[in-house]
């Protein structure tokens, strides 16, 4: 297919959405996001009476939805539309009119923060049982995401020349476990005790509810457990979320002088630029500029 010769045609976009979704090779969660995004886009075209969308129509759509959707959501919706038009052009159906249309610029900063050492101790002190205490310790000690936690199986722990390693299913990696993280010896001993005392045989963390007794936990349950512990510890929830456990890991390592490249690798960041956001926030918190200027004014 010579894409350069594909012309823009008047087509009914909604007719090709299902075909596109069946064509792409992505995770089910992404499929659901694309469905929502493209349904909304098709509704917009109908409401505006647009039968042959142009580049300007896509830009106008972006400007419209950014008034009531977050920047991240707007960009996710635009990705869905871009990929749909890539497919339509690839199939020779119509020209891709989304090329070089930019998403919303997102300031690289975190909306939530990590926990201080004092706050971590408060959370551990309010844990109801050994499962909750181990969950908090493991998430912070290894910088785990909720999706990584729910997929941990006992077989994922292994000895690598005297060092305990844990295989993880990384973010967006499908079913294959590719990421690795080192597990501290003291933490691993606690894991072994927990496994023995609770007769764990498969997944490390299992449900205790009647509806899903001993079944695999969900990310929703993990987030709920962590949120409830934060609230029980009387922490300010305005700047915290379950992901704050992972923030705590990165912030603590940087605060203790661990080289940023080493921190980036430990956190399994795809790019060191992600780690640099934490470093920038750390530098801003510890800057002496404000104190120096205040000494002149007060």
How far is residue 239's CA from residue 230's CA, in Å, rounded to a whole number? 11
pLDDT score, position 172: 54
The first and second tokens of residue 156, run together, are 């994922």
Tokens 């992600």 correspond to what residue? 274
Main-chain dihedrals φ then ψ at residue 141, nearest 5 degrees: -65, -30
How far is residue 120's CA from residue 105's CA, in Å, rounded to a whole number? 34
Do the bridges between strand 157-160 and strand 179-182 make them parallel or antiparallel, or are there none, so unpaired?
unpaired
| Greatest pairwise CA separation for the chain in angstroms | 71
Three state DSSP letters for the chain: CCHHHCCCCCCCCHHHHHHHHHHCCCCHHHHHHHHHHHHHHHHHHHHHCCCCCCHHHHHHHHHHHCCCCCHHHHHHHHHHHHHHHHHHHHCCCCCCCCCCCCCCCCCCCCCCCCCCHHHHHHHHHCCCCHHHHHHHHHHHHHCCCHHHHHCCEHHHEEEECCEEEEEECCCCCCCCCCEEEECCHHHHHHHHHHHHHCCCCCECCECCCCCCCCCECCHHHHHHHHHHHHHHCCCCHHHCCCCHHHHHHHHHHHHCCCCHHHHHHHHCCCCHHHHHHHHHHHHHHCCCHHHHHHHHHC
pLDDT score, position 177: 65
Q: 218-245 burial string, b = 16+ CB within 10 Å, else e? A: eeebbeebbeebbeebebeeeebbbbbb
pLDDT digits 0-9 by tens, 169-203: 865 555 566 899 999 999 999 999 999 999 999 99
**Domain ranges in the chain?**
3-90, 117-285
pLDDT score, position 124: 97
pLDDT score, position 69: 87
How far is residue 126's CA from residue 227's CA, in Å, rounded to a whole number? 12
Q: CB neighbours of 100 closer than 8 A, spacing ≥ 6?
A: none
Strand-pair partners of 160: 163
CATH number among 1.10.150, 1.10.287, 3.30.70, 1.10.3470, domain 3-90? 1.10.150
CATH of domain 117-285: 1.10.443.10
3-90 matches 117-285 in fold: no
Run means of pLDDT, 10 residues per run, the chain, 298 residues: 52 84 86 92 92 92 91 90 92 90 79 92 96 96 94 94 90 66 96 94 86 82 96 94 95 94 93 90 89 91
147, 184, 274, 276 from 104: Cα distances, Å: 27, 41, 18, 21
């Amino acid at each position: 297919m010579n894409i350069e010769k594909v012309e823009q045609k008047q087509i009914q976009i909604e007719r090709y959405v299902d075909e596109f979704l069946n064509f792409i090779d992505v995770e089910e969660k992404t499929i659901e996001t694309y469905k929502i995004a493209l349904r909304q886009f098709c509704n917009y075209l109908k409401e505006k009476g647009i039968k042959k969308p142009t580049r300007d129509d896509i830009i106008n759509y972006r400007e419209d939805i950014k008034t009531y959707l977050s920047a991240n959501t707007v960009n996710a919706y635009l990705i869905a539309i871009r990929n749909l038009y890539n497919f339509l052009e690839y199939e020779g159906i119509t020209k891709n009119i989304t090329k070089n249309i930019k998403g919303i610029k997102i300031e690289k900063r975190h909306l939530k923060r990590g926990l201080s050492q004092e706050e971590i101790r408060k959370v551990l002190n309010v844990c109801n049982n050994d499962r909750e205490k181990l969950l908090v310790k493991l998430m912070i000690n290894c910088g785990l995401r909720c999706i990584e936690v729910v997929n941990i199986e006992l077989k994922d722990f292994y000895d690598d020349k005297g060092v305990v390693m844990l295989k993880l299913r990384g973010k967006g990696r499908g079913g294959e476990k590719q990421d690795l993280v080192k597990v501290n010896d003291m933490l691993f001993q606690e894991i072994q005790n927990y496994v023995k005392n609770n007769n764990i045989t498969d997944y490390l963390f299992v449900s205790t509810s009647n509806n899903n007794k001993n079944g695999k936990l969900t990310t929703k349950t993990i987030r709920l457990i962590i949120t409830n512990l934060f609230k029980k510890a009387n922490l300010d929830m305005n700047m915290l979320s379950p992901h704050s456990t992972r923030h705590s890991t990165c912030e603590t390592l940087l605060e203790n002088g661990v080289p940023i490249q080493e921190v980036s690798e430990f956190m399994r960041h795809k790019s060191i630029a992600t780690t640099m956001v934490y470093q920038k926030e750390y530098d801003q918190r510890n800057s002496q500029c404000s104190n120096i200027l205040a000494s002149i004014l007060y």
